[in-house]
Amino acid sequence: MKLPIFIADAFTAKAFRGNPAAVCLLENELDEDLHQKIAREMNLSETAFIRRLHSTDNFTQKNVNSTLTFVTLSGELKARKAENGIILDLPLYPTQPQDLREVEKLIKTAIGDTRVQDIRYSPDTRKLLVRLSDTYDRSFLENLKVSTQNLPQIESSGKVKGLILTLKGQPGGQTKVFDFYSRYFAPWVGVAEDPVTGSAHTVLSSYWSQQLGKKEMYAFQCSPRGGELEISLRSDGRVDIRGGAAIVVEGTLTA
């Protein structure tokens, strides 16, 4: 069996940056075991298997502003091609204040004595958002050593499935001004640190829009690979997240 496969770097215009993901095009369904074997072979945090649900579905849709709908295990994902990237149409998830006493050990284990300014929780996504002190700058977040190995043992109730560290943007000193920075960790699902995370920004967009009083924002995820996201909150309670994409591998998988 031969399957078309690609590796694309998302949320970047440059190869070897952003979030790498494998994309495998299918004509027919595969059994779950083969899905898992291919994903392990790709050894990336995301491997997507795309199959036409209707004969008229077009894998090679090239029209700008045309929308493709993907039916996933997490629900529908809509994406459209724009002149300067790809726009994901995503839900916007609110956060609620989180009592420090309930998560203090988790935070202490992850970032030690790093000063924390705010803690929020997203019940819809089970993500814990930790805002670092405004006295820190981008380089501090980029260089921060985060310990994630023991977090699943410390928080094993199922309440938390992802840890977001975020920091308010600071103008000056960078080639581009960003409204906020972040890093994302999900050892509960086997991801020590995700390079760039669209789902985390469904929470971050809600939080920082309230904090900054803005509907249009630029964000940077400070993983070693790094990724840029352009955020636009919509009046219908959803968010458009725009990013570039670079295809770095195109070939055939033999299984």
Residue 195 CA to its chain's centroid (Å): 8
- CB of 92 closer than 8 Å to CB of 202: yes
Question: Looking at 46, 155, 193, 230, which residue is catalytic?
Answer: 46
Q: Which two tokens stand for residue 35?
A: 């899905």
Regarding beta strands 19-26 and 2-10, do their DSSP bridges make them parallel or antiparallel, or are they unpaired?
antiparallel
Q: For residue 136, how many other CB atoms are within 10 A of its CB?
A: 17
Phi, psi (deg, nearest 5) at residue 37: -65, -40
Q: What span, in angstroms and rounded, lies between the C-alpha atoms of 241 and 132?
A: 23
- CB distance 12 to 243 below 8 Å: yes
Measured distance CA(62)–CA(76) in Å, rounded: 20
Say which DSSP state 101 is in: H
Q: What share of the chain is helix, strand, coil (3-state, %, to 5)?
A: 20, 40, 40
32 as an active site residue: the answer is no
Enumerate the active-site residues.
46
